[in-house]
Amino acid sequence: MVCMLWSHLGTRPGHEHVFSYVGTPAARAARLTAMFGSALHELGVPYGVAHGYVVSSLRAGAITTLYQRCGDLQRVRWYGRWDSLRTMEHYVQELPQAAVFAELDATTRAQLAALARLLPQMIRRAALDRSPPPFV
């Protein structure tokens, strides 16, 4: 996964968009959804509205994780750029995806945890020296 991301993003100038698929907004959204589903499939994670994660679940998941780490709704609101505290609270309270994660088999959860531990190091390295990871 890290090698795939590096091959697509590692040499990209910092000012360029990560997702720059050309087409109508609907075509871009469909392409992003397909790419997201493909990545989750490779990781062994269920995807799609009926069965698991969707792109929009990233916002609720991220905001919930941030709140669990800092416990400060005002800080979370500032990071998420929410005008309304009430709107933001709905995202923090959306935890059905936690049930999907809990239903993953132990091997998949362990692989996802290992990947999550690697990503901060890879992001720091990319930001500091833009050199590829040693195992590419």
pLDDT value at residue 95: 57
Which pTM does this prediction carry?
A: 0.58
Looking at 32-128, which runs of residues are DSSP E strands?
none
pLDDT value at residue 107: 92
Q: How far is CA 54 from the centre of its chain?
A: 10
Partnered with residue 53 across adjacent β-strands are 47
Contacts of 9 (CB under 8 A, 6+ apart): 18, 126
| Alpha-carbon dihedral sign for residues 91, 96, 99, 104 | negative
Q: How far apart are CA 126 and CA 86, in angstroms?
A: 37
Quote the tokens at residue 11. 């040499």
Quote the tokens at residue 127. 């930001």
Ranges under pLDDT 50 in the chain: 136
Q: What is the DSSP letter of 135?
A: T
**Tens digit of each residue's pLDDT (9 = 90 or more) over 89-123:** 777 765 556 667 778 889 998 988 888 888 888 77
Q: How far apart are CA 124 and CA 20, in angstroms?
A: 23
CB 109 within 8 A of CB 98: no
Q: What is the DSSP letter of 133?
A: P
